[in-house]
Amino acid sequence: MNIDDISTHYRRLLAEHGDSPQAVQYSCKNSQERRFELLAGIGDLRHKRILDFGCGTGHLGSYLYEQGIEFDYFGTDIVEDFLTLCQRKFPQGHFEDFNSLSHLQFDYIFVAGVFNNKMADNTQFYQETVRKLFSMCRLGLSFNMMSAYVDYQDPNLFYEYPEKVFGFLKREVTPFVALRNDYEVKPGVVPFDFTVYAYRSGQ
């Protein structure tokens, strides 16, 4: 898929499922929030400026607020309908297309599920995106991807070996990298995705 195809895909999911995890391609709220829990483990998010890259309908923001975390919430997405919905849900937040935010700096940037859909060149896409986003963060970048260590791969999704992502970050982005591939998204199911923390400095 190209960017236009992906945008159309998510607009269709939003029309079908409304403001729900299924609108952004999660199977259920529990698995979605388990991933958010891992992403948020990058550091102390209290009173930080946060960018939710690929914000969807703002479920990450809802999750963080439910944890009692106060933060300055920015979001961006290729689907304009998502941005409109987020602005209604979070009037204190800032939701715009990426070009309008790309000159800003954030404490932490989160990328949840953005790298999962099959594209013409997924490796180039995630590497260029990570480089750009890391240049915009003061403290760290947290993102997740589907692991290639699975016994079944959906032909519409992109799977990557965690060690390849780790090596790319160490060689080309930052020496301060942490990789989490030790958790269950669904109870009793072997890990099928992984979470990466890329930091500006040592922890």
pLDDT in tens, 11-67: 888 888 888 878 888 878 888 999 999 999 999 999 999 999 999 999 999 999 999
When mean pLDDT is compared across 53-57, 138-142, 148-152, 166-170, the lowest value belongs to 148-152
Give 110's strand partners.
52, 142
User: What is the span of the domain harbouring residue 54?
Assistant: 3-199
Q: What is the CATH number of the domain that holds 130?
A: 3.40.50.150
How many folded domains does the chain comprise?
A: 1
Average pLDDT, the chain: 93
